[in-house]
Amino acid sequence: MASKSMQPYWPVCRKPFLFCLSLATILVLPYLLFWGYAGKPLVNHVLPKEKIFSMIESQSTPARDHEDEPPLSTDSTFLDQNGPADEELERCDPSKAVLKVFMYDLPPEFHFGLMSWNDDGNSVWPDIRTKIPDYPGGLNLQHSIEYWLTLDLLSSKFSDRSGPCSAVRVEDSREADVVFVPFFSSLSYNRHSKIIPPKTVSTNKLLQKKLVQFLTAQKEWKRSGGRDHIIMAHHPNSMLDARTKLWPCMFILADFGRYFPHVANVEKDVIAPYKHLITTFVNDSSGFDDRPTLLYFQGAIYRKDGGSIRQELFYLLRDEKDVHFSFGSIGGNGISEATRGMHASKFCLNIAGDTPSSNRLFDAIASHCIPVIISDDIELPYEDILDYSKFCVFVRTSDAVKKGFLIKLIRDISREDWTQMWQRLKEVEGYYEFQYPSKKDDAVQMIWQAVARKVPAIRLKVHRSRRFSRFDVSNRTSTPFKVFI
């Protein structure tokens, strides 16, 4: 009886491998279907064969750009663990936005009008579904955060918007977490700070004066004292006239180098990255030995204020083997030369200039060239959630100018340590990319998230300011105020 009962299954049992493969396929396929499409509508009930195989491969083999790379490092911080995610299937869901933003409909002269865009009389905003006005190139681009954030807010109202949205625009300011002021202040400074006769005042100064008058008259400003307003002043010289009048607001800045501490500080304001100018190193598989230059710097050498250290370092490093330290600018083939130089270098110097920050740091990140930061007063984007020591080398100014100190420090960094930092750079580079449409955890989304983390502190300040406002009778001359219960 036993042999008869086993007979029907004998053909299968003679090939245990095929049996196990069939069983595994039956068990794993539903899991793959659920894992790949959980929380998303199923258009097709069966995954394509290519999709199944790619999902199996991605589960069994970690993605590497180079065979000799170490496993990806992990961190306790969510963003540090995951890096900028692939949002191929990501779409804007306003209900999941971390920030509700009310944006003033300022006249075009404050924003896109500065780019020679002319409104048609029907709207103060361009129809970005049909054509997006081009932002001026050259050095203007490095301070273009105002452009990217405004585009992102305008598109957050599109019902068919693709990509994520950390911030969404609301029409009622009472529903908003923050109030956004769409003044392209960096562009205003770059293009309109000179006085053009017969005028006696620059357009940049006039716009700042008009902005102060407008904002301080608004009910939204009066309601919060301006504490929940966001003003972009990324160029160090932008908003020079208005900043001391609008200081209760949240500024989005490159650094605090030219601000009084009570006007701008790390507690209330947000540091945003520059838009890098050199070309991103795509599909970078270069290893330690593939980058022949040890240390790279190309830029202005003679600077004022804190930038005098550049001259001292030039004389210390100019004769060192495998070190490139020379003058350079964006003119001519400057950007192309810097791109090639950074892509071929292990370490890139980021030295304080006229202000603590410079675009060079973000050029280095885009090149996967380990930044060596010599700027004691620098503030860095997203540093409350991002550990820069994992992909940057920090050197105190007082140490950097000691003869032989800096070059010995760099030469003593091992191949293994360099490779770990290089790999980390590739993981975080997306945090510093400005683009439209915005993508998950790119610079636009990261800035909005940084603003959202300031909202509780803003609310605390606003609530504290209102303690006595409702029942304050100190200025009343009529019948005392009565409270009815």
Give the pLDDT of residue 66.
38
Whether 485 shows a pLDDT value over 50: the answer reads no
- pLDDT for the residue 110: 98
Cα 146 to Cα 12, 262, 391, 458: the distances in Å are 67, 23, 27, 21
Whole-number Å distance between alpha carbons of 204 and 196 = 11
Dump pLDDT digits (tens) for 382-439: 999 999 999 999 999 999 999 999 999 999 999 999 999 999 999 999 999 999 999 9
349-376 mean pLDDT:
95
| Nearest in space to 392 (alpha carbons), one of 428, 359, 356 | 428
Q: Report whether 145 contacts 126 (CB < 8 A).
A: no
Q: What is the mean pLDDT of residues 224-233?
A: 98
Average pLDDT over residues 88-108: 87
Cβ proximity of 230 and 250 under 8 Å: yes
Q: What is the pLDDT of residues 39-86, one digit of tens each?
A: 443 333 333 434 333 333 333 333 333 333 333 333 333 344 444 544
Give the model's pLDDT for residue 299. Answer: 86
Lowest-confidence range among 108-117, 151-160, 365-374, 465-474? 465-474
| pLDDT value for 164 | 86
* CA-only gyration radius of the chain, Å: 28
More confident residue, 413 or 467: 413
- Cα dist. 273→390, 434, 446 in Å? 18, 9, 10
Query: Tell me, which fold does domain 288-432 have in CATH?
Result: Rossmann fold (3.40.50)
| Cα–Cα distance, 150 to 409 (Å, whole number) | 43
Quote the pLDDT of residue 102: 98
Map tokens 């209760």 to a residue. Answer: 248
Query: pLDDT category, 307, cuts 50, 70, 90?
Result: low
Name the residue with higher pLDDT: 1 or 134.
Answer: 134
Burial 266-285 (b: 16+ CB within 10 A, else e): eebbbbbbbbbbbbbbeebe
Distances (CA, A) of 339 to 173, 198, 322, 433: 44, 43, 17, 16
> What is the tens place of the pLDDT at every residue in 259-294?
999 999 999 999 999 999 999 999 999 999 999 999
- Per the model's pLDDT, the better-predicted residue between 7 and 347 turns out to be 347
Are 147 and 134 spatial neighbours (Cβ–Cβ below 8 Å)? no
Please give the Cα distance from 338 to 279 (Å, whole number).
Answer: 9
Q: Could you tell me which residue, 223 or 479, shows the higher pLDDT?
A: 223
Q: Which residues of 183-215 are buried (b: 16+ CB within 10 A; e: fewer)?
A: bbbbbbbbbbeeeeeeeeebbbbebbebbbebb
* pLDDT-above-90 percentage for the chain: 67
Q: Which pair of structure tokens corresponds to residue 163?
A: 């990509």
* Average pLDDT, integer, range 106-122: 91
Tokens read off for 381: 């984007």
Could you report the per-residue pLDDT of 161-202, keeping only the tens digit for each?
Answer: 888 899 999 999 999 999 999 999 999 999 999 999 999 999
Residue 440 reports pLDDT greater than 80: yes
- pLDDT for 41 equals 39
The predicted structure's pLDDT at residue 11: 43
- Say which range, 10-14, 405-409, 434-438, 472-476, has the weakest mean pLDDT: 10-14
What is the predicted pLDDT for the residue at 484?
37
Say if residue 241's pLDDT is above 90. yes
Task: Quote the pLDDT of residue 31.
Answer: 46
**Across 306-327, average pLDDT:** 88
Mean pLDDT over each residue of the chain, to the nearest integer: 83
Q: Where are the domains of the chain?
A: 13-58, 97-275+452-458, 288-432
